[in-house]
Structure 1
Amino acid sequence: MNKTNENSSSTGVSFVLCCYNSEALVADTINALNNQINNGIPFEVILVDNNCTDYTVSVAESVWARSDAKLHVVKEKTPGLSFARKRGVRETKYSIISFVDDDNIVEPEWVKKVFYLFENKPDVGAVGSYNLPLIETKEPAWFEQYMHNYACGKLYPASGIVSGNKKKHLWGAGLSIRSKIIKKIYSADLPLYLTGRKGNLILAGDDSEICFYCCLLGWDLWYEHDLTLHHKIQPSRLTWNYLCKMHEGFGYCSPILEIYKRLIDNQFSLSFSALFFNKLMTFCYIVMRYNVRLMVNREGQHFQVLFYSAWGSLKGTFGLRKSYGRMVKQIRQFFSTQR
């Protein structure tokens, strides 16, 4: 792959901010973008209205105050974070794209740091940040143990290339990627199978799929501990029930992500029957080991998280019973032509 030829995008940074009924959050997010110390580096903000029924757009437009950078608002009717991001990316004009969620507050030097990271590391395709939790209520006793599930905390011990076959992941909140890569991903014959959250549905895996896709195209991932954002976590997401449902969503997407992982590891993909048997045995093992305790909702008990994850994985696998073989073939054939 020739990594030196850039596409027609102009040099700069495009923020893609996807929103669904975000009026209570978006002002802080926009203000953080207002306060960018960009040292003359061009940037823009693409706000994607993903079927908002509140005043998200009017709040964002009233807060935006930069004269040297534009706020563009576009509409995406198909629900789902992946669809909203794809719509936003289509509207960008700069060479680097940063995905910022409606509850993310990026540091003032984000544009400058991201721009120079990519300028100085030509083999890096995507950069992940160090995300700090911002909790306005009392933090649950179990939060520190599960902080990574909220895309917060130190993802890796230090800044550097994300190495090792098992560690090809960056968080979607604050993910920055070269425009030519993400546009190639979104326009490729191979579709992205995971759509991310849809409105109030707790789905996941879309950011991991993009990272795996990036790696299989021959690019490095970089984690930067000095690139920070604050992730504002709403009280409604800090309940034990929400965490368990989130793990169910993680499990649901895992069968698809395992196809990519095994390809990165140069392993053969499992047949559907073997995959389903493994998921079923894992679920049965957890049920038999913890049995009656699973019927009692005890906050902070890790076995409940394991149960929801295994249950989601079993459901997700069963849902692929008619398409799994075709999906494996498509993914493997596509990337065999990219190397």
Structure 2
Amino acid sequence: MRITVIIPTYNPNINRIHQTIAALKDQTFPHHMWELIIVDNNSSTNFTTDIDISWHPNRYIIKEDKQGLTYARLAGFKIAKGDIIIMVDDDNILEENYLVNVYEIFNSYPFLGAAGGKSLPIYESPAPVWLFQFESSLAIRNLGEEKIINKWENHFPYSSPIGAGMALRTVALERYISRIEIRGNNIITDRNATTLSSGGDNDIVIDILKSGWQVGYFPNLELKHIIPTERMKVPYLARLNHDTNKSWIILLQSHGINPWKKIPPQSVLPRKIKAWFTYKAWKNKGNYIKWKGACGMYEALSI
């Protein structure tokens, strides 16, 4: 059983991606038993000259011109040779036994299709108190010290793996990849240069669950997620909450599991105005960010 690590990236911060690569270099899992694929998602900078992966015997840098995290992941999936794929963001620092633990988990749970664990923050500057209520939007999670395993029950399990550090059994991706190829450009592209939409990782998880596989949370899978100062500011978080909520509804609708009723397009503006007062969006930063999230939901429900 081999492992493939895929790092999709777009104009990465060199300092952060250096930390990501250094943590991979320090993995206790032997280098010859896994491969490293970096996917340049049409970056405007030539960052590849600033990183060193010569230490790895099975390393590849490929380019995907279609903008969007989903396209970059797919490009990596198509050339991956591993039985297990681990998706690593360019600001993730994996704990040194991460690959070993993934290997052991998938050997121990033959019906497991996807696994994830803890994603703990490294704030590049002091985090304001009000920020912590939005940590899940920043791909920060800690569900405790007990493992949780789920199967498909016609809804999205709260403990499902998130994209950062998600490990996938390659054979369990078949349904997802086939569906994406059939739909062509009508897919959830996830984040790109112009939007902070998300849901691509959840789309993968739902297809894996619908295929009959299990997904799980394992606390011994731990990584650090670097949170830069600009992602702790109100304009970014407001946009993030808006785009994330909107794409979440669209994702649920695409799988027929959206619990909210559709709304008429002409009702969107009145609902936004009412929500402004319901959330008291003028009172503080947190309320304003939540209101922007509600606006994203209304827009999605009107489509």
TM-score bin, normalised by smaller chain: 0.7 to 0.9
Equivalenced residues, count: 296
Q: Confirm or deny that 1:126 pairs with 2:114.
A: yes
CA contact (8 A) 1:156 1:223 kept: no
Offset of 1:156 from its aligned partner?
6.1
Q: Structure 1, residues 188-222: CA drift from partner, whole Å, max 9, x if none?
A: 36547211100252111111111111111111111
Alignment-derived partner of residue 66 in structure 1: 55
CA contact (8 A) 2:3 2:83 kept: yes
Q: Which amino acid letter does the alignment assign opposite residue 81 of structure 1?
A: L
Q: Distance in 1 between matches of 2:93 and 2:33?
A: 19
Which of residues 74, 93, 97 is equivalent to 2:81? 93
CA contact (8 A) 1:282 1:310 kept: no
Q: Distance in 2 between matches of 1:79 and 1:297?
A: 37
Which of residues 312, 316, 327 is equivalent to 2:296? 312
Secondary structure, counterpart of 1:275 in structure 2: coil
Q: Distance in 2 between matches of 1:56 and 1:305?
A: 33
Alignment-derived partner of residue 259 in structure 1: 253
Offset of 1:297 from its aligned partner?
7.2
CA contact (8 A) 1:131 1:154 kept: yes
Q: Distance in 1 between matches of 2:219 and 2:275?
A: 39
Alignment of 1:1-339 (within 5 A): 11-22=1-12, 23-39=14-30, 42-60=33-51, 62=52, 64-67=53-56, 69-155=57-143, 158-162=146-150, 165-167=155-157, 169-188=160-179, 190-191=182-183, 193-259=187-253, 262-263=256-257, 274-277=261-264, 284=270, 287-288=273-274, 290-291=276-277, 296=282, 298-301=284-287, 304-318=288-302, 320=303
**Between the two proteins, what is the percent identity of the paired residues?**
24
Change in Cα spacing, 1:130 to 1:282, as seen in structure 2 (3 Å) is: farther
Question: After alignment, is 282-291 or 212-221 more displaced?
Answer: 282-291
CA contact (8 A) 1:287 1:307 kept: no
Offset of 1:260 from its aligned partner?
5.7
Offset of 1:288 from its aligned partner?
2.3
Where do 5+ consecutive residues of structure 2 fail to align?
none
Q: Aligned-residue CA RMSD in angstroms?
A: 2.7
Q: Distance in 2 between matches of 1:316 and 1:122?
A: 37
Change in Cα spacing, 1:254 to 1:39, as seen in structure 2 (3 Å) is: closer
Question: After alignment, is 165-174 or 105-114 more displaced?
Answer: 165-174
Q: Structure 1, residues 161-204: CA drift from partner, whole Å, max 9, x if none?
A: 03664525321111110112224421336547211100252111
Offset of 1:300 from its aligned partner?
2.6
CA contact (8 A) 2:279 2:291 kept: no
Offset of 1:240 from its aligned partner?
1.7
Question: After alignment, is 288-297 or 129-138 more displaced?
Answer: 288-297
Change in Cα spacing, 1:106 to 1:317, as seen in structure 2 (3 Å) is: same
Question: After alignment, is 147-156 or 211-220 more displaced?
Answer: 147-156
Given the two structures, how large is their TM-score scaled by the length of structure 2? 0.87
Change in Cα spacing, 1:157 to 1:289, as seen in structure 2 (3 Å) is: farther
Q: Structure 1, residues 267-308: CA drift from partner, whole Å, max 9, x if none?
A: 9x88xxx5124x98787456325439867373232xx23321
Q: Structure 1, residues 78-133: CA drift from partner, whole Å, max 9, x if none?
A: 10000000001111111000000000111111111101111110111000120010
CA contact (8 A) 1:137 1:235 kept: yes
Q: Which amino acid letter does the alignment assign opposite residue 299 of structure 1?
A: K
CA contact (8 A) 1:26 1:59 kept: no
Offset of 1:143 from its aligned partner?
2.2
CA contact (8 A) 2:271 2:298 kept: no
